[in-house]
Amino acid sequence: MSTRETAPRPLRKDAERNRRRVLEAAREVFAEHGLAASLDDIARHAGVGVGTVYRRFPDKEQLIDALFEERVGEMVELARASQAVEDPWAGLEQFLTAAQELQATDRGLKEVLLGDVHERARVTAARDRIAPLVQQLLDRAQEAGAVRRDVSFTDLPLSQFAIGGLADYTRDIAPDAWRRMLVLVLDGLRATGTDATPMPAAPVDQEDLERVMQAAGHADRRRRG
């Protein structure tokens, strides 16, 4: 069979326009309401019939995969840009602050980054690209003596869980409250000239972190029925 016969047929201009409209609407709806939003919600926001959404994306998981592969890719580029910062502490701080800002304004992105995405192959592959970059940021800051030696990589996503949850609950009451908590977390990561308070427990290992993410994903699915 020739390449011409097997190549996917390009979408008509109106079909491509509707696809982009659906993706933009999904980005806005998921950012506001999280992944609990339905395809009906997205169709209504896009101003198209729900059948149009289903023709482009037969189920919501495919829509999430298509949309958030790009969004998680933005996080990868953010981590790379932070690695280019000369000062190791400033690079880590830049990444953690910018990542938290993105998650505070986009509930869907937060759920994708910190939830169970094992059924979304493209998103999972994109997310797996972030971890080694962030580990390198942390290693560099610790080697420079800027971050406590007893801080583990898994402490970083767990702190994002905590701050992200606060951002969700205070969004309509005190939308910048999470920024105060982020400052406290960043100060807690810093190595100081005095003895730090010993950690009261061992760090969560990678396997347990995955279990936490799966539990968060299950909770999200129960919430959205």
Which pLDDT does position 220 carry in this prediction?
59
CB-CB neighbours of 184 under 10 Å: 10
Give the whole-number percent of the chain exceeding pLDDT 90.
41
- Contact residues for 189 (Cβ-Cβ < 8 A; gap 6+): 92, 147, 148, 151, 155
Beta bridge partners of 190: 147
> Do 1-58 and 67-223 have matching folds?
no
Segment 154-174, tens digit of pLDDT: 999 999 989 988 888 888 889
Q: How far is CA 148 from CA 94, 138, 199, 210, in A?
A: 17, 10, 11, 24
Segment 24-71, tens digit of pLDDT: 999 999 999 988 899 999 999 999 888 988 888 888 888 888 888 888
Question: Domain 67-223, what fold?
Answer: Tetracycline Repressor; domain 2 (1.10.357)
Q: How far apart are CA 17 and CA 32, in angstroms?
A: 23
Report the interhelical angle of 155-170 vs 88-105 (nearest 10°). 40
pLDDT bracket for residue 199 (50, 70, 90): confident
Amino acid identity of residue 15, one-letter, is A
SS3 assignment, position 79 = helix
Where do the domains of the chain lie?
1-58, 67-223
pLDDT bracket for residue 91 (50, 70, 90): very high
Measured at the CA of 205, the angle between CA 203 and CA 208, to 5 degrees, comes to: 115
Mean confidence (pLDDT) of the chain: 85
Indicate whether 2 pLDDT > 50.
Answer: no
Question: Domain 1-58, what fold?
Answer: Arc Repressor Mutant, subunit A (1.10.10)
- Lowest-confidence segment of 95-104, 108-117, 167-176 by average pLDDT: 108-117
- Contact residues for 176 (Cβ-Cβ < 8 A; gap 6+): none
